[in-house]
Amino acid sequence: MNSSIVECLRSAGRLDRMFVDGEWVLPHGQARTSVIDPSTEEPVTEIALGNAQDVATAVAAARRAFAAWSVSSAQSRAVLLDRVHTLILERAELFAQAISLEMGAAIGFARSTQVPVAAEHIRVARDNLASYPFLTHRGDVAIMREAIGVCGLITPWNWPLYQITAKVGPALAAGCTVVLKPSELSPLSALLFAEVMHDAGIPPGVFNLVSGNGPEVGAALSAHPDVDMISITGSTRAGVLVAQAAAPTVKRVAQELGGKSPNVILPDADLARAVPAGVASGLRNVGQSCSAPTRMIVPRARLQEVERIALEAVASLVVGDPRSTQTTHGPVANRAQFNRVQEMIGIGITEGAKLICGGLGRPEDLSRGFYCRPTIFTAVQPHMQIAQEEIFGPVLVLIPYDSMDEAVEIANGTVYGLGAHVQGKDLGAARAVAARIRSGQVHINYPAWSPHAPFGGYKRSGNGREYGIEGIEEYLETKAILGFQDAPTLATTVQSSRNAQEQS
């Protein structure tokens, strides 16, 4: 199936082209890059890379399309999103196979999580669009929420489809037009998504895709004067570079960046439930999630019990070929990330943290591929690098505490503030701790994931919010119109104006 996906994209000419103004077009330059299968370290195909001229062409198409799309009815935009949602579900297996091939996700995880949650972002954008109040009143002031304009969307390699839909769905729902730059390291699912947009009947210029790297395409998109907003999901370093490039044009910049999320185990927590679920959550997607709770903060008196249960949980993991349905954890996504994980494990050992499982190198039965050993350090001090820096791999640290104030201090003691977890039987105590943690999300006792919960960070984890209502509002401007006393009259006036614009 993996080879057939590549052959299908190749035979259709997708690997050599960009999707701009409703057409699959050749890029202006000749640059190409290999797509590497992280389970074998071998290239499976090549894709064409765009440049600044391709960005300019795509932005011009999006600017032309904005005039009509921004005043189209919410109902018509919802119908389009409904078709996109349907097509993603119909092609779920293609997407799962592509994601497994391009970034190493275990096929079972790609099928059960990577693709379904991506589809949910489109569904929620569609549903919220149906009832969103784009026009409200405050006395004699009318408050209009209008599309911000042309949006550049920069997405990462770790959740390739999920991060695309989390941006494209709300942006289109708001009435924006977009230029998407997916990661060149995981481009196949993005090309499949562009096919979905085409087949769903997206008007020319409303959605555009330009493949390329950050220094060329990402920088050009961020600096372009006709781009009104940039939304990036990536490392804190990448977010800083995007913000710097965007600053001269004073465009809006939304950033979902790094994290080092805490998981606070309260003294009364049921360890038999809290610890295995914490290990699973921290190592989900092989630890390649910005909100992964990779710092388990545990009562010192219960540290040895936590260690024992955590070891049992890791022993149940199956690291291996991502194409096998028995595999729970495939390789990390690329060589640079493999090297980063190995470097940080080495630092943890040098710092004197106690290694209780895993460690340097691949699992013993795997001689090639970017496979890392699921690793747990214990008796970790909060100031250690492995407790402060985002590793982005299957590495969990256990940090002991002696009081609740200390636990909260440790939880808040990094430059990040994206996600957090709290475990405890006393919900009042758990909620009190959750209220003191400075992060964009806090999960109490492992609730189900919700696409309606706004997601974003404090501190160096970024700014702005994605998902749900807040995800749509990120792509809206606020206009106040003073002097209208009659709400029905204003609504009629606005709709008549939009109808005239749409017809023209």
**pLDDT number for residue 485:** 66
- Interval 42-100: pLDDT, tens: 999 999 999 999 999 999 999 999 999 999 999 999 999 999 999 999 999 999 999 99
504 confidence band (pLDDT: 50, 70, 90): low
Residue 76 CB contacts under 8 Å (≥ 6 apart), including other chains: none
CB 468 within 8 Å of CB 481: no
Spatial separation of the C-alpha atoms in residues 246 and 220, rounded to whole Å: 9
CATH fold of 2-257+460-503, please?
A: Aldehyde Dehydrogenase; Chain A, domain 1 (3.40.605)
Q: Tokens 């679920």 belong to which residue?
A: 277
Spatial separation of the C-alpha atoms in residues 246 and 375, rounded to whole Å: 39
Sheet harboring 252-256: ordered strands across? 23-25, 18-20, 207-209, 177-181, 150-154, 229-233, 252-256, 462-463
- Interval 343-390: pLDDT, tens: 999 999 999 999 999 999 999 999 999 999 999 999 999 999 999 999
- Interval 144-153: pLDDT, tens: 999 999 999 9
- Interval 186-228: pLDDT, tens: 999 999 999 999 999 999 999 999 999 999 999 999 999 999 9
- Interval 269-300: pLDDT, tens: 999 999 999 999 999 999 999 999 999 999 99
CB atoms near residue 185 (< 10 Å): 21
Give the amino acid at 424.
Answer: G
Annotated active-site residue 256? The verdict is yes
Spatial separation of the C-alpha atoms in residues 344 and 355, rounded to whole Å: 13
- Reply yes or no on whether the pLDDT at 502 is more than 80: no
Spatial separation of the C-alpha atoms in residues 423 and 409, rounded to whole Å: 16
Alpha helices (H) in 235-334, listed in sequence order: 236-246, 271-283, 303-315
Closest CA to 282 of 274, 273, 291: 291
- Read off φ and ψ for residue 398, nearest 5 degrees: -105, 120
Would residue 471 be called left, alpha or beta, if left means φ above 0 and alpha means ψ between -120 and 50 degrees? alpha
Residue 255: strand pairing partners: 232, 463
Closest CA to 212 of 222, 199, 200: 222
- Interval 229-245: pLDDT, tens: 999 999 999 999 999 99
**pLDDT number for residue 494:** 63
Spatial separation of the C-alpha atoms in residues 181 and 169, rounded to whole Å: 15
498 confidence band (pLDDT: 50, 70, 90): low
- Interval 410-431: pLDDT, tens: 999 999 999 999 999 999 999 9
CATH fold of 262-449, please?
A: Aldehyde Dehydrogenase; Chain A, domain 2 (3.40.309)
Task: Encode burial over 193-215: b for 16+ CB neighbours within 10 A, e otherwise.
Answer: bbbbbbebebeebbbbbbbbbbe
- Reply yes or no on whether the pLDDT at 301 is more than 60: yes
Within 13 Å and on the Cβ side, how many CA atoms surround 288?
26
Mean pLDDT of 150-159: 98
Q: Where are the domains of the chain?
A: 2-257+460-503, 262-449
Spatial separation of the C-alpha atoms in residues 234 and 163, rounded to whole Å: 10
- Reply yes or no on whether the pLDDT at 133 is more than 70: yes
DSSP, collapsed to helix, strand or coil, labels residue 15 as helix
Spatial separation of the C-alpha atoms in residues 437 and 407, rounded to whole Å: 10
**pLDDT number for residue 4:** 85
What pairing do the DSSP bridges indicate for beta strands 416-417 and 458-459?
antiparallel
**pLDDT number for residue 455:** 98
* Higher per-residue pLDDT: 125 or 492: 125
Global pTM?
0.95
Mean pLDDT of 257-266: 98
**Greatest extent of the chain over all pairs of C-alpha atoms, in Å:** 74
- Out of 184, 256, 390, 474, the active site residue is 256
Helix-strand-coil split of the chain, %, nearest 5: 45, 20, 35
What pairing do the DSSP bridges indicate for beta strands 354-359 and 458-459?
unpaired
- Reply yes or no on whether the pLDDT at 21 is more than 60: yes
Spatial separation of the C-alpha atoms in residues 33 and 86, rounded to whole Å: 31
Spatial separation of the C-alpha atoms in residues 317 and 334, rounded to whole Å: 21
**pLDDT number for residue 475:** 98
**pLDDT number for residue 496:** 63
**pLDDT number for residue 11:** 93
- Out of 290, 307, 372, 474, the active site residue is 290
Residues 357, 358, 359: CA angle, nearest 5 degrees? 120
CA–CA distances in Å: residue 493 to residues 76, 262, 490, 498: 20, 51, 5, 9
- Read off φ and ψ for residue 178, nearest 5 degrees: -135, 155
Residue 366 CB contacts under 8 Å (≥ 6 apart), including other chains: 319, 320
Would residue 37 be called left, alpha or beta, if left means φ above 0 and alpha means ψ between -120 and 50 degrees? beta
Annotated active-site residue 372? The verdict is no
Alpha helices (H) in 175-224, listed in sequence order: 188-200, 219-223
Give the amino acid at 221.
Answer: L
Residue 179 CB-density burial (10 A; 0-12 exposed, 13-18 middle, 19+ buried): buried
- Here the tokens at position 280 are 């699973």
Spatial separation of the C-alpha atoms in residues 437 and 250, rounded to whole Å: 32
Residue-averaged pLDDT of the chain: 96
- Interval 451-493: pLDDT, tens: 999 999 999 999 999 999 999 999 999 999 998 766 566 666 6
Residue 143: strand pairing partners: 136, 480
Sheet harboring 443-444: ordered strands across? 354-359, 373-378, 395-401, 295-299, 262-265, 421-423, 443-444
**pLDDT number for residue 150:** 99
Closest CA to 471 of 459, 454, 457: 454
